[in-house]
Amino acid sequence: MKRLHLVAWLAAALLVAACGSSPGGGTSNANSYSGKTIKLGAILSITGAGGVYGPQSRDGANLAVKQINASGGVNGAQIALTINDDASDKAQSAQVAQKLIQSEQDLALLGPTLSNSAVAVHPLAESLKTPILAVSTTGIHIVPDCNFPATTPCKYVFRDSLGEETAIPTNIKSYATDKHPATGVLLVAQDDKFSSDGGKIVQDTVAQYNINLLKTIKFNKAEADLSPYVTQAVQAKPDVIFITSLGGIPAKIMTEARKQGWQGQFLGGNGFNTATVSKQAGADGKGARSASAWYLGNTFASNKEFVDAYKAEYSKDPDQFAAQGYTAIKVLADAAKRANLTFSDLAGDRDKLRTAMESVNIQTPLGPFQFTSTHDVKQTVWVIAMDGAGGFTLVHEVKQS
Amino acid sequence: MDQQILNAIFIGSIYALFAVGYTLVFGVLDILNLAHSAVFMLGAALTYSLVINHGQSFLVACIIGVAASGLMGLVIEHVCLRPLRRRRAPPIAALISTVGLALIIVAAIEQGQRGTLFGWLWVDGANSVAFPPGTIPNPTWHIGDLTLEASKVAVIPISVALMLALGYVIRYTQVGRALRAVAENPRTARLMGLDVDRMISLTVVISSALGGVAGILFGVALGDISPYIGRDNVEVRGLAVIVLGGMGSVPGAVVGGYLLGLIEVFAVVALGSGARGGVAFAALFLMLVLRPQGLFGAQLREKI
C-alpha cells in the first residue's frame, strides 16, 4: 500500500513537472520578471555549536546572490536573500522559519544548518507548503521522510548536501577496492546523533566488503581524554580505524593513535571534510580518507569560477559548506527562472518553484547537479585524503548512477 | 594493559591536582567553591592565548596563567565569599554565588572573538582549540609496547611535587599552622590574634593557582582547550574525588584523584567503553553508602 502511494505520488510529480516545464521553457522571455524581487530566507547557525559551519554557508550563498544580481538577475528579477541566525537552537530555528514563511512571505527557504534543527523546521515548511532546501544537513530522515517516523514523502523539502548514508559507504567501498583491509575498529561518540548515525552506517556497511569489525568503542563527545579508548583500539591491531565524529575529535583520535605507534588507515565521514580538521590533525592525519560533496582542487569550469570568485570576495579558500550554500542559490535561481512565477499568487508561485526544482539539471561547484526522485542530491562523490598540511588531495571520483 | 595504567596515572594526576584545590577551600571554609572549574578553564585558555595570539614564550605564558588564576581566587573571595560571610549567610548561599561567578567566567570566554571586549583573552568563541604541533616541544618515546609522551609524562612529577609542597606547607610551616587553626575554629583563631580574612584569602588564592596549573597541564597534554573543559571534565569528577577521599582532606583528594583515574580506565578495559562515567559514579555511590566520611574522613579528625 505504501509503495503504491509512493508510485502514485512520483507519477503525479513527474506529470506536473512535465506540464510545468513545457510552457516555461517555450514561452517565457528573458525579461518577464523585470522589476520584481525574489525573496529568499536562509536559516543558518551563525552562532552556537553549528557556528563552525553556518558562516561558510552564508558566505557561499551571498556570493551567488551577488553574482546573479550583477548579471541581470533571474529573468530580470533581483534576488533578496536574508540570513537569519538560529543560534544552533532547534526552537529558535522553527520560530525563524515561521516568521520567514508567514510574515516575510519568502518564496523559498534555505537551511537550517543542523540536522537537529531540521527535524523541527522541515515539517513546518512542509505543512505551510513552502519549498525549503537543506544546505548542510547530512543526517538520516531529512529527505524524503521529513516527518519521520511517518513515511509519507515530504513534497517541499529538498537537500543539496551529501548524506552520510551515501558518503560513508562510498568511502568504505573505494578503500576496500583499493587495499582490501581485513579488520577494523569503530570509534563513535555515543551521545551525538551525527556520530552514532554514522557509526550505524559503518556497522551496516563493513560486512559487504569482508571487513571484520573487531570492536565498536563508544565514548562521550565532551570527554577530553580519549587516550583509554584509542589505546583499546590500537591494541586490537586493526587495519582500519573508522571515526564518525565531528569537530576536534577526529584530529585528537588520529594524533593519539599515531603517538601510540599505530600505522593503519583512518576512514571517516563528513566530519573530516573541513580544512580545520585536516589542519588540526596535521601530519598525523596524512592519508585519512573520507567521501566529500566537493573538492577544492577540482578544475572544471563551474568549480574554478566559484573558487576564484570566493577567494576574490573573502580572501580565503571556500570549503564544502560554502560550495553547498553557493549551489543552493544557483539551484533556486535556475528553478525560479523556469517556474513562470506570477509574483501575485504566493502559494501558487511556491508550488511552481517546487515543481521546477525537481527538474533542476545544472553545472555547479559540486559537479553536475540534479535531485533524485526523493529530493536528495544526485551528484558525483569525491573521495579525498588529508595531505598532512591542512588540505586534501583527490583520490577517486565516484559518479552516482 | 600497561599503556592503560599509564593513561590512568596521567589523568589521575590531573584529577588529584584539581581536587586538592577544591578540597582545600572546603576544609577551611566548609564551602564548595564551584567556580574552581571555571578557574581551571581560565588558566588553560589564558596560557593558550598568550602563546598563540600574543606571541609569548610558553614559560612566560604559564607563569602569567598561574598568576592570573591565583588572582581569580582573590576575586572569588571578595565577590562571592567575603560579603556573604560578613552577613552570616548559610554555606549554600556562597555555593550559589560561586556557581554564578563560574557561569559568568565561562560566558565571558565563550563570547571572546577578535575585536570584542574579551578578544585579548580568547578569540575562539565556543570552539575547542589545541596548541599546534611544534609550539611546545613534545618528544615521544616508545619503550616496548609503551608510548611515553613528554607532555603527559611531565604532568605526573609536576602534580606530585606541587601536592607534596602543599602538604609540607600545611603541616610544617607557620602559615600552615595558621591555616589549620582557621579551619579548626575561625572564632578561636581570631581570638588568638590570627587575621582570619587574610588566611581565607590565601587559601582561595593557593587553591585557584593549583586549579590553574591543573587546567594548563590538562590543555597542553590533552590538546583540548575550550570554554567548557572545566565544566565537562573536572567539575563533577572533582566533586567525586573529594567525596571518595573525604571532604576537606588533602591526602584524601590525592588518593581519590588517582583512584578515580584508575576506576575510569579499568571500567573502559573491563566493562566496555560506554561504562566509564557510570562506573566512576557507582564507586562514588558505594562510598557514600558504605563509608560516607570518605577514605580519609575518619582517621583525620583535624581538617586539611
Q: How confident is the model over A45-59, as pLDDT tens digits?
A: 987 777 778 999 999
Helix (H, G, I), strand (E, B) or coil at A379: coil
Q: Does residue B301 surpass a pLDDT of 80?
A: no
DSSP A153: P
- Sequence-separated (6 or more) residues with CB below 8 Å from residue B172: none
Q: Does residue A2 surpass a pLDDT of 70?
A: no
Q: Does residue A362 surpass a pLDDT of 70?
A: yes
Mean pLDDT of A194-209: 92
Beta-strand pair A367-371/A377-378: antiparallel
- Tell me, rounded to whole angstroms, the distance of Cα A77 from its chain centroid: 27
Residue A227, number of CB atoms within 10 A of its CB: 29
Mean pLDDT of B164-184: 91
pLDDT digits (tens, 9 = 90+) for A151-179: 899 999 999 999 999 999 999 999 999 99
pLDDT digits (tens, 9 = 90+) for A219-274: 988 788 899 999 999 999 999 999 998 778 899 999 999 988 899 999 998 889 88
Q: What is the ipTM metric for this complex?
A: 0.76
pLDDT digits (tens, 9 = 90+) for B60-96: 999 999 999 999 999 999 999 999 999 988 889 999 9
Q: State the greatest distance between any 2 C-alpha atoms of chain B, in Å, as a whole number.
A: 61
Give the pLDDT of residue A19: 45
Query: Which residues does residue A267 pair with via DSSP β-bridges, in sequence order?
Result: A242, A289
Chain A residues close to B129, C-beta within 8 Å: 248
Q: Buried (b) or exposed (e) across A363-394, using 16+ Cβ within 10 A?
A: ebbbbebebeebbbbbbbbbbbbbbbebebee
The type of residue at A4 is L
pLDDT digits (tens, 9 = 90+) for A120-152: 999 999 999 999 999 999 888 888 999 888 889
Mean pLDDT of A185-198: 88
Chain B residues close to A195, C-beta within 8 Å: none
Between these two residues, B283 and B195, which has the higher pLDDT value? B195
Q: Which of B128, B148, B264, B281 to mutate to test the interface with A (most CBs of A within 10 A)?
A: B128
Chain A residues close to B222, C-beta within 8 Å: 224-225, 252
Give the pLDDT of residue B302: 52
Q: Does residue A398 surpass a pLDDT of 50?
A: yes
Give the pLDDT of residue A46: 86
Q: Rounded to whole angstroms, what are the CA distances from A392 to A196, A285, A295, A297, A301?
A: 25, 10, 8, 8, 20
Q: Rounded to whole angstroms, what are the CA distances from A234 to A74, A218, A225, A237, A342?
A: 55, 14, 15, 5, 62
Query: How close B86 gets to chain A, by Cα (Å)?
Result: 39
pLDDT digits (tens, 9 = 90+) for A287-339: 999 999 999 999 999 999 999 999 999 999 998 999 999 999 999 999 999 99
- CB-based contact A229 B268, cutoff 8 Å: yes
Q: Tell me the pLDDT band of B257, cut-offs 50, 70 and 90.
A: very high
Domains of chain A in start order, with CATH, are 2-14+32-162+299-365 (3.40.50.2300), 165-292+383-398 (3.40.50.2300)
pLDDT digits (tens, 9 = 90+) for A17-50: 444 444 433 344 455 899 999 999 999 998 777 7
Give the pLDDT of residue A75: 94
Q: Tell me the pLDDT band of A16, cut-offs 50, 70 and 90.
A: very low
Q: Where are the domains of chain B?
A: 2-123+144-227
Residue A273: all three cell numbers together? 571534510
Mean pLDDT computed over every residue of chain B: 89
The answer, as to whether pTM is greater than 0.90, is no
Q: Does residue A281 surpass a pLDDT of 70?
A: yes
Low-confidence winner among A389-398, B168-177, B271-280 (lowest mean pLDDT): B271-280
Residue B211: all three cell numbers together? 586549579
Residue B166: all three cell numbers together? 602543599
Burial of A66 (0-12, 13-18, 19+ CB in 10 A): middle
Backbone dihedral angles phi then psi of residue A282, each to the nearest 5 degrees? 55, -140
Of A242, A245, A138, A231, nearest to A189 by C-alpha is A245
Mean pLDDT of B113-141: 83
B→A contacts (Cβ < 8 Å), by residue, are 3-4, 7-8, 10-11, 125-130, 132-133, 140, 142, 147, 149, 218, 222-224, 228-229, 232-233, 264-265, 268-269, 272-274, 276-277
Chain A residues close to B8, C-beta within 8 Å: 228
Give the pLDDT of residue B128: 80
Q: Which of B3, B142, B216 to mutate to test the interface with A (most CBs of A within 10 A)?
A: B3
Q: Tell me the pLDDT band of B266, cut-offs 50, 70 and 90.
A: confident
